[in-house]
Amino acid sequence: GENVEQHPSTLSVQEGDSAVIKCTYSDSASNYFPWYKQELGKRPQLIIDIRSNVGEKKDQRIAVTLNKTAKHFSLHITETQPEDSAVYFCARGMNTGFQKLVFGTGTRLLVSP
């Protein structure tokens, strides 16, 4: 179906630890996979994205991996900091000529100092 499954729903880590959030999808037409960070009451902000022609992308402490065969992708945050605490949403883009996004259910990340 259309849904994107996201796990875990909540994640608590100590400052400095790594955090990993995983998403799975079923629509093989998907070719764009962004990750958004949303703080309480604010807009989702794009933190990293990956397109289906690559398997991994890294930007400083954040990395995303994509396994298109298995239809799953993951967000990796290293050396977590308290300001990383937020809700993270994965999404997949449907190849319809414009990037209609279907969002995962979200992961609430709490980084304790």
For another protein, the binding residues (CB under 8 A) are 34, 36, 41-46, 49, 51, 89, 98-106
Cβ closest to another protein, residue 39 vs residue 79 = 39
Give the other-Cβ count within 10 Å of 100's Cβ.
Answer: 12
Residue 82, preceding peptide bond in cis (omega within 30° of 0) = no
Who's near 89: CB < 8 A, 6+ residues apart? Answer: 6, 35, 36, 38, 44, 103, 104, 106, 107
CB of 91 to another protein, least distance (A): 8
Cβ closest to another protein, residue 14 vs residue 96 = 96
CB of 99 to another protein, least distance (A): 5
Cβ closest to another protein, residue 78 vs residue 105 = 105
Residues in the chain: 113
Cβ closest to another protein, residue 50 vs residue 77 = 50
CB of 113 to another protein, least distance (A): 24
Structure tokens given for 10: 């909540």
Give the other-Cβ count within 10 Å of 17's Cβ.
Answer: 13
CB of 27 to another protein, least distance (A): 14
